[in-house]
């Protein structure tokens, strides 16, 4: 670990991944393989969104639409979006899907995202994991949640009673074109 201390009141602009920013006040911090700066304590960054509860079937049939139920709140009422990334063994990570939040959903919501899956029995040998987090307008992020997904021809996806009300509020679609990992291993 390396220590970084900046004593000047204002530092020169920093160029990082095409973005320019300045440091108006910095404290001692540690750099562990990336750029990490402490925020100016005089700037209010608000509260991070919180995913209160979630549920998704761990096993579904190929061709079923997977429902991912979420309850989240933000004390500041400024949630912007839900970010979701699907990882698949033997394939890798699919591009991040963003679902924008509007109206009262920015304060809090109970609803579901959905993912259509292909009707391909080869998926039964695949292992997947969906990671979801909620972001707000100030750059705060909820803790990520991870949901496993497997396929089985005999699986039945049911909505638990505790999620019956959330089943009436569709938050959005995850537009991910899942392919079986066998497609990649036969090349």
pLDDT tens readout for residues 138-150: 999 999 999 999 9
pLDDT band at 45 (very low <50, low <70, confident <90, very high): confident
Residue 181 banded pLDDT, cuts 50, 70, 90:
confident
- The predicted pLDDT at position 183 comes to 73
pLDDT band at 10 (very low <50, low <70, confident <90, very high): very low
What fold, for 50-185? Immunoglobulin-like (2.60.40)
- Cα–Cα distances in angstroms (integers) from residue 5 to residues 13, 24, 29, 104, 135, in the given order: 16, 13, 7, 42, 29
What's the pLDDT score for residue 151?
97
Q: What whole-number distance in Å separates Cα of residue 86 and Cα of residue 72? A: 20
- Contact call for residues 170 and 82 (beta carbons, < 8 A): no
How many helices and strands (H and E) does the chain possess? 1, 14
Residue-range domain boundaries for the chain: 1-43, 50-185
Per-residue pLDDT for 43 more than 90?
no
- Taking only the tens place, the pLDDT of each residue in 80-108 is 999 999 999 989 999 999 999 999 999 99
Consecutive H or E run containing 116: strand 108-116
The percent of residues in the chain predicted with pLDDT above 70, rounded, is 74
CA 69 – CA 164 distance, rounded (Å) = 10
């Amino acid at each position: 670990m390396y220590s970084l201390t900046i004593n000047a009141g204002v530092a020169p602009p920093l160029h990082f991944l095409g973005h320019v920013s300045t440091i108006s006040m910095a404290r001692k911090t540690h750099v562990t393989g990336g750029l990490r700066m402490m925020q100016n304590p005089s700037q209010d960054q608000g509260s991070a969104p919180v995913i209160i509860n979630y549920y998704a079937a761990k096993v579904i049939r190929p061709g079923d639409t997977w429902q991912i139920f979420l309850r989240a709140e933000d004390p500041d009422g400024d949630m912007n979006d839900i970010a979701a990334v699907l990882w698949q063994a033997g394939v890798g990570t699919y591009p991040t899907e963003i679902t924008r939040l509007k109206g009262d959903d920015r304060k809090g919501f109970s609803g579901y995202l959905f993912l259509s899956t292909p009707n391909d029995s080869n998926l039964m040998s695949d292992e997947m994991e969906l990671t979801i987090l909620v972001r707000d307008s100030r750059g705060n992020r909820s803790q990520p949640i991870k949901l496993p997904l497997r396929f089985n021809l005999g699986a039945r996806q049911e909505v638990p009673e505790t999620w019956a009300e959330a089943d009436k509020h569709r938050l959005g679609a995850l537009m991910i074109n899942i392919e079986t990992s066998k497609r990649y291993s036969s090349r």
